[in-house]
Structure 1
Amino acid sequence: MLDVKINVIGMGYIGLPTALMFAANNIEVIGTDYDEKLITQLMLGKVTFEEDGLTELFEKAVSHGISFSTTYHPADIYIVAVPTPYNKTSKKIDPTYVLSALKSIMEISPKGSTIVIESTVSPGTINKLVYPLIKENGFIIGEDVHLVHAPERIIPGNMIYELINNSRTIGSDNIDVGNIVKELYQVFCKGEIVLTDIRTAEMTKVIENTFRDINIAFANELTKICRSDDMDVYEIIRIANMHPRVNILQPGPGVGGHCISVDPWFLVGDYPDLTNLILAARKINDSMPQHVLKRIRDIMKNNNIKDISRVGLYGLTYKENVDDIRESPTLQLLEKMDEHLAFGVKVFDPMLKEVVVENQIMDFNDFLNEIDILVIMVSHSHIKDNMDNLKTKLILDTKNVCYFEGVYKL
């Protein structure tokens, strides 16, 4: 057991599993978040989102003494896992949450503590914004405080497995400090842990998600090409992927989540003259909800359906079998519908226990009874298990999961 105390800042989709994993492996952990409702729920022994294995991990962490608080605490290690959105005008990172967390840490941190930033940041953020902030507060980096960037690399729906098995990057400009943090993560991480400098770690995380975004954009652009000339994009991709060096992804209604849909903008914002391909990919993926809306209108016109309220969107989360709605394509589509004065569309998602949008129906059968056109936006296991109930509906299948004839595709 390592004799250290960790204060994890941010009890969201990244911070909570990370805190639980350390605590479950006999590290003393305090989880901090300003959201009083969230902390109260955790103190009552309830997890705050659904994730395979999370409840079991939570129970183990609690049995090992993890605690939760709305305040920061003196600790040896601080792990910052707060949101890093982007400014939709400038396309640059909004570092507000990270900088605020750092200010609060410096108010109570003992001398020699280490701050590990897990939040994804644009390349150069720590050098340009974090180092100056620490110095402005009278701290000497390398003496009063040590700084490390260890970006997360997990995906909702498979977080626990990936926390344990994925490789990690530890960015530190002091190799001794980097090795200490590496040893800390090795208490649960079975993957390779690579030690590098901070700027390389920043860039590596951002380009991982940018690479994925570009590849998704190719599939989505191919969809539009095939739609324009009445070709089957799925058959074309299937055949092309038989080539030993071709692996085209599946198209979809858009890109959501807080990684792939956000991180590429950091590069566009910081390097506007050098990111033509990245910007084009972002525009293509952001255009897909509009493409879905056009397909809906075509189906309505071809079937003489004039009432948009008879259209139902299945799925609000950004991917299958999770309850995470951040940047979801369905929310983007609803925004597009509002812009075009197309109100009243129905929505259903089996993963959500609370109403988050207008006209959201909580019972699946009630949802089906209210609609004529079903738009499958997310391929939850639930919809795959209920295919036989859908055959009386006009279906726009944006995820290519329906197995019967007469289904409209992207």
Structure 2
Amino acid sequence: MINVIGLGYIGLPTALMFAENGIEVVGTDYNESLVNLLKRGELTFEEEGLNDLLASALLKGIEFTNEYVKANTYIVAVPTPYVKESKKIDLKYVISAINSILDVCEKGSTIVIESTISPGTIDKFIKNEITNKGFNVGVDIHLVHAPERIIPGKMIYELENNSRTIGAEDKEIGEKVKELYSQFCNSEIIVTDIRTAEMSKVVENTYRDINIAFANELAKICRTDNMDVYEIIETANKHPRVNILQPGPGVGGHCISVDPWFLVGDYPDLTNLILSARKINDSMPSHVLGRMRDIMREHGIKDITKIGLYGLTYKEDVDDIRESPTLQLLEKMDEHLAYGVKVFDPFVKERVVEHQFMNFEDFLNEIEIIVILVSHTHIKQNMDLLKTKHILDTKNICSFESAYKL
């Protein structure tokens, strides 16, 4: 039996996939209201195909509880934020989960950590928690790191089709965990050592962060000298060995905007490029703010309440707002400037910020400047409604010649 700890964006889909493939699964989360919703077959976030998968898993016997249970295998999928002052990983959720597992597990159990962790975390911190409880690592408790590789909007597809990395000190244990994930993963599953698995996941997201930062820096250079960054990137990408990503209003989500800081925190003297990339991407909301001010000055608009921010999520066509550029932008505005700025997102059904509208037409009626921060399909399908507005298009999806770009 598997006990999946943490029923959020990663743990829940993973638990459902195991259950769908005939494995006995208990999902555990401290959030009692979440557990009760799942028992009733209801989700707390939207994801294509997940409703059907939940219904099927319930029929096949998956259980949800606030309690940790005895199991052969535990999968830990809890958040791993970073400490903003030191840039080091904050392991409080992982350590809490590990200790709760150790309170109920039997000798011989395997603990699989899916949460993204900085290189060396298991050696430096997790093993100590286990020995402090009187267990012998590698004998009484087996440790494995199997970092997740899925993205909201494509969770089921990516669980089935993305390759996986299994990090284990004991090759035999690694192969057993590989066999477990093979129940639903149709792609290559690599078995390696723990530290390699830890490092590879952080490196993946750091690479993407650096690529995005290059595009964002290009956008700033081109803005300074009145060049079209999008045409330049498109032209450069004709080269067979060049693949520059697109600039944007910032980097959000719980991976790319967080994981590179783990390396900066642990290796401060060796991560100059990574730190620079993080600073560039974190500066983009301020760049957007500057562009907003330019448009206001150009059109003589002094009333900040006439500005509307479209999009609250960190990426298109999902309801995930974690670390979103829009929230970063609102944080960077001082109280005077932020007062009265309108916000709308078709995927965010609950009010999470001041002056958030729930109706798109009402939102448009109140503004003169619209800042497109997320390229939802919704805005692409309703572009004609923006013809009378001054548009700042940070996602390069608007074909109007009058639209302003980054």
> Structure 2 length normalisation: TM-score?
0.99
Q: Which runs of 5+ in 1 are unaligned?
A: none
d(CA) in 2 for partners of 1:183 and 1:222? 45
Q: Choose which of 37, 40, 43 in structure 1 pairs with 2:33.
A: 37
- Residue 81 of structure 1, CA deviation: 0.1
Q: Give 3-state SS (helix, strand or coil) of 2:277's partner.
A: helix
Matching of residues 309-320 of structure 1 within 5 Å: 309-320=305-316
1:159 aligns with 155
2:187 aligns with 191
- Residue 338 of structure 1, CA deviation: 3.0
Matching of residues 42-57 of structure 1 within 5 Å: 42-57=38-53
Q: Which amino acid aligns with 1:50?
A: E
Q: Give 3-state SS (helix, strand or coil) of 1:352's partner.
A: coil
1:208 aligns with 204
d(CA) in 2 for partners of 1:12 and 1:323? 13
Query: Residue by residue, what CA displacement relative to the aligned partner does 1:196-245 show, whole Å, maximum 9, x if unpaired?
Result: 00000000000000000000000000000000011111111111111111
Q: Which runs of 5+ in 2 are unaligned?
A: none
Matching of residues 117-136 of structure 1 within 5 Å: 117-136=113-132
Query: Residue by residue, what CA displacement relative to the aligned partner does 1:94-115 show, whole Å, maximum 9, x if unpaired?
Result: 0000000000000000111100
2:375 aligns with 379
1:15 aligns with 11
Q: Which amino acid aligns with 1:55?
A: N
Q: Choose which of 376, 401, 408 in structure 1 pairs with 2:404.
A: 408
d(CA) in 2 for partners of 1:316 and 1:38? 23
d(CA) in 2 for partners of 1:341 and 1:350? 24
CA contact (8 A) 2:113 2:147 kept: yes
d(CA) in 2 for partners of 1:366 and 1:379? 20
CA contact (8 A) 2:372 2:394 kept: yes
1:168 aligns with 164
Give every structure 1 segment of 4 or more consecutive aligned residues whose post-TM-superposition deviation is greater than 2 Å: 338-342
Q: Which amino acid aligns with 1:368?
A: L
Query: Residue by residue, what CA displacement relative to the aligned partner does 1:1-28 show, whole Å, maximum 9, x if unpaired?
Result: xxxx000000000000000000000000
d(CA) in 2 for partners of 1:210 and 1:132? 28
Q: Does 1:113 align with 2:113?
A: no
Matching of residues 228-377 of structure 1 within 5 Å: 228-338=224-334, 341-377=337-373
- Residue 339 of structure 1, CA deviation: 5.8
2:390 aligns with 394
- What fraction of aligned residue pairs are identical, expressed as a percent? 72
1:85 aligns with 81
Q: Give 3-state SS (helix, strand or coil) of 1:332's partner.
A: helix
CA contact (8 A) 2:304 2:337 kept: no
Q: Give 3-state SS (helix, strand or coil) of 1:147's partner.
A: strand
CA contact (8 A) 2:394 2:405 kept: yes
CA contact (8 A) 2:2 2:72 kept: yes
- Residue 404 of structure 1, CA deviation: 1.6
Q: Which amino acid aligns with 1:24?
A: E
- Residue 258 of structure 1, CA deviation: 0.2
CA contact (8 A) 2:319 2:348 kept: yes
Query: Residue by residue, what CA displacement relative to the aligned partner does 1:17-74 show, whole Å, maximum 9, x if unpaired?
Result: 0000000000000110001111111111101211111111111111111010011111
2:22 aligns with 26
Q: Give 3-state SS (helix, strand or coil) of 1:298's partner.
A: helix
d(CA) in 2 for partners of 1:242 and 1:77? 48
Q: Give 3-state SS (helix, strand or coil) of 1:56's partner.
A: helix
2:90 aligns with 94
Q: Choose which of 57, 62, 67 in structure 2 pairs with 1:66.
A: 62
d(CA) in 2 for partners of 1:29 and 1:362? 38
Q: Which amino acid aligns with 2:21?
A: N
CA contact (8 A) 2:285 2:326 kept: yes
d(CA) in 2 for partners of 1:207 and 1:244? 24
CA contact (8 A) 2:250 2:282 kept: yes
Query: Residue by residue, what CA displacement relative to the aligned partner does 1:254-285 show, whole Å, maximum 9, x if unpaired?
Result: 00000000000000000000000000000000
d(CA) in 2 for partners of 1:376 and 1:134? 49
- Residue 340 of structure 1, CA deviation: 6.2
Q: Give 3-state SS (helix, strand or coil) of 1:180's partner.
A: helix
d(CA) in 1 for partners of 2:285 and 2:314? 12
Query: Residue by residue, what CA displacement relative to the aligned partner does 1:111-163 show, whole Å, maximum 9, x if unpaired?
Result: 11100000000000110000111001100112211110000011111110000
Q: Which amino acid aligns with 1:317?
A: T
| Equivalences, count | 406
Q: Which amino acid aligns with 1:326?
A: R
1:150 aligns with 146
- Residue 341 of structure 1, CA deviation: 4.1
CA contact (8 A) 2:167 2:191 kept: yes
Q: Give 3-state SS (helix, strand or coil) of 1:89's partner.
A: coil
d(CA) in 2 for partners of 1:300 and 1:93? 40
